[in-house]
Amino acid sequence: LMVPPLNFAMISPGVYRSGFPNPRSHPFLLQQRLRTIIYVHDGDCQTYHQQFIRDNDINYKHFRVAANREPFVEMDHAMVAEILAELLDTRNHPVLVHCNRGIRRVGCLVGCVRKLQGWAMTAIFDEYQRFSGTKIRIADQEFIEVFKSPAHMEVQHPAAVVAGQAE
């Protein structure tokens, strides 16, 4: 029985999102033939997950990102731009980006990708809310709304994910 991680979904061909994978979801992840896993959380990665990544020769990138919290804590815009550059770089594909539950930090990142794709804010917020359920945070939606991709954000091999197309 293949079990995907919590809140697993495709963002665009070769780009996936989820909550923290547990050992039961590792066989499912192997089927995705991941080249890169990006973990966005201010805590440490679980030992069993690090071992899975090493054993399967998957590139691993950990960005220590604090969650948005009222009244004055918000994700670092420059770090989010750096994560987006990694996510959109086709040399990292197939790629999985995950946080602990696949709701808040990943939801903000996906919202920023959707902005790059030209989605309407109502559609972006609708997608965010589908994954967050009752855990909607206004601070997350505000972050997505005000996020602007810095001019210095460089993507070496930009994915068609920005255009919303497969390569």
> Is the pLDDT reported for residue 71 higher than 80?
no
Q: 73-95: per-residue pLDDT in tens?
A: 888 888 999 999 999 999 999 99
Contacts of 134 (CB under 8 A, 6+ apart): none
Q: 5-33: per-residue pLDDT in tens?
A: 999 999 999 999 999 999 999 999 999 99
Phi/psi at 36 (nearest 5 deg)?
-140, 145
Where in the sequence numbering do the catalytic residues fall?
99
Which of 23-27, 88-92, 120-124, 133-137 has the least mean pLDDT? 133-137
The pLDDT of residue 132 = 87
Strands (E), the chain: 9-12, 15-18, 36-40, 59-63, 95-98
Is there a contact between 6 and 19 (Cβ–Cβ < 8 Å)?
A: yes
| pTM for the predicted model, two decimal places | 0.87
